[in-house]
Amino acid sequence: MKKMKNLKKAAVILLAIVILLFTACGKQVDPKFYQARIWYDEIPDSELKSGVIPQELPKDLKELAVKICKRVSEYYGIDGIEKKLPKIAMLDDATLRWLLGVSQDTDVFGIYVPADEAIYLSGAFSEANAPVLAHEYLHYLSNNGEVSGLKYNKSGRSFGRYFNEGITNYLTYRLFPDEKIICYEYETHFAEQLAICVGEEVLEKAYFNSDTSELREIINKALSKYYSPNNIFGIELDVFDLIVGQIEEYAISLAYSTDETSFNEALKMLDSLEEEIFFLGRSIGKTQQQKEALKSFMGQIESVVPKTHLQEILEEF
Ligand SMILES: [Zn+2]
């Protein structure tokens, strides 16, 4: 009889444990917002020299530019790798706009052209545009002669153009925390979330060495139970590639969205990405920090938030 009672007791305890486990893990098991869409670039045959004829920068602008570049190098401890300063010259705004591929009414301040090994600045460049130069200089510093920063080639395709822009911008604005981010807003936020998850050091090492392997391993290990490797357009993609490809898809949809529908498509990609980075953060115990970062991002894009599921993501994690 006593044995029976003990068995009953054990069964009740077991049931309680099972219920507890289900409640603890069952909060959100499956991705809700996953979008299986990606974008990549064709690998250019060669990065052509621009052929532009720049002018010397006026002395005061040159000094300002060198000062800003040195500040970036010092902040990231780059001196050790003995990267020289790039050629920094001046271009008229019409030529700068042509190089950047932007319209006449866009303000332009600078661009880095890898094949020229040069950064070109507008004559209107001033201290107020320091983040623009810092951003371009980071592209220069992270270029290993083949790829720049966290761009990478796979199966004859080039991945990570906007992923890399986001990371570059994130690293830029760490030096200018009070400045308002004026481009690649979501890509930069995603980079911040990634930095929270993997740590600044891992992210910087990957970026300056143009080496995605550690990030790839962390992401694949943590997220393979939620997302499966896929074969899209005949390319074998692991989870890391899928996420990078989604960032590209988001950026391209946004850049070419001329109507409400494609804008909303871009926002779906954004929801998908945010949920993914929250799954990563949860596996590493970074949810609280990520929520703070997300709240701050939602504050910046307040008017867009009702069209996203960011509030839901914030509450569910
Ligand atoms: Zn850039």
Alpha helices, DSSP H only, in the chain? 2-25, 59-75, 93-100, 130-141, 161-174, 185-198, 200-208, 213-223, 239-255, 260-284, 287-300, 310-316
Cα 165 to averaged position of ligand 1 atoms, centre (Å): 5
pLDDT of residue 201: 97
Confidence of residue 258 (pLDDT cuts 50, 70, 90): confident
pTM for the structure as a whole: 0.88
pLDDT higher than threshold 50 for residue 128: yes
Cα 107 to averaged position of ligand 1 atoms, centre (Å): 15
Q: Where are the domains of the chain?
A: 41-316
pLDDT of residue 232: 80
Cα 139 to averaged position of ligand 1 atoms, centre (Å): 7
pLDDT higher than threshold 60 for residue 117: yes
Alpha helices, DSSP H only, in 142-255? 161-174, 185-198, 200-208, 213-223, 239-255
pLDDT of residue 26: 43
Cα 147 to averaged position of ligand 1 atoms, centre (Å): 13
CA proximity to 183, closest of 120, 102, 121, 245: 102
If one compares 293 and 262, the residue with the highest pLDDT of the two is: 293
Residue with tokens 């890391």: 240
Cα 316 to averaged position of ligand 1 atoms, centre (Å): 33
pLDDT higher than threshold 60 for residue 25: no
pLDDT in tens, 64-95: 999 999 999 999 998 755 567 899 999 999 99
Cα 183 to averaged position of ligand 1 atoms, centre (Å): 9
